[in-house]
């Protein structure tokens, strides 16, 4: 299990940021290599992500779901469940958004298995950290 916390800085209003978190069609592409493949409902999509770890490039496919959200507190828990395409590994994560004026925080608790995990927890954490940092920049720039 890898757990990471990242600040979000955004000039958008707390309500606009919260709407973005709950709009999976707009949120998933904020992740580098992330695409929505099919909308299951307003709170769940089938998605895919391509991730580069060192010399390896992997593709994970699965679902992203809004598991719970509190409109008054501007918090949301998203759950990612994915399997490595053509492999035996998986990448699952609970991502908690806690928004405030000027941005907020993202807490990620991820479980990675398979080829990606075999590279070591340090490498996994470094790649995940870079992915989330990139996400926060894209999140802040999203319209």
Closest CA to 132 of 49, 31, 50: 31
Q: Is the separation of the CB atoms in 84 and 117 below 8 Å? A: no
**From CA 68, how far away is CA 95, in angstroms rounded?**
11
Write the class of the CATH domain 2-141: alpha beta
The domains of the chain are located at 2-141
pLDDT of residue 143: 67
47, 63 contact by CB (below 8 A): yes
pLDDT at 45: 98
Q: What string of pLDDT tens digits covers the 143 residues of the chain?
A: 899 999 999 999 999 999 999 999 999 999 999 999 999 999 999 999 999 877 888 999 999 999 999 999 999 999 999 999 999 999 999 999 999 999 999 999 999 999 888 888 888 899 999 999 999 999 999 96
| Cα atoms in the 13 Å half-sphere on the side-chain side of 86 | 4
């Amino acid at each position: 299990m890898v757990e990471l916390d990242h600040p979000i800085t955004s000039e958008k209003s707390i309500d606009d940021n919260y709407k973005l978190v709950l709009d999976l069609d707009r949120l998933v592409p904020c992740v580098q290599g992330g695409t929505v493949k099919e909308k299951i409902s307003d709170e769940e999509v089938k998605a895919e992500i391509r991730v580069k770890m060192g010399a390896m490039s992997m593709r994970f496919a699965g679902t992203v779901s809004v598991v719970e959200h509190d409109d008054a507190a501007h918090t949301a828990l998203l759950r990612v469940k994915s399997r490595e395409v053509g492999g035996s590994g998986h990448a699952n994560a609970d991502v908690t958004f806690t928004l405030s004026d000027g941005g907020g925080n993202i807490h990620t608790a991820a479980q990675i298995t398979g080829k990606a995990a075999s590279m070591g927890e340090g490498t996994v954490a470094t790649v995940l950290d870079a992915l989330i940092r990139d996400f926060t920049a894209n999140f802040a720039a999203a319209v």
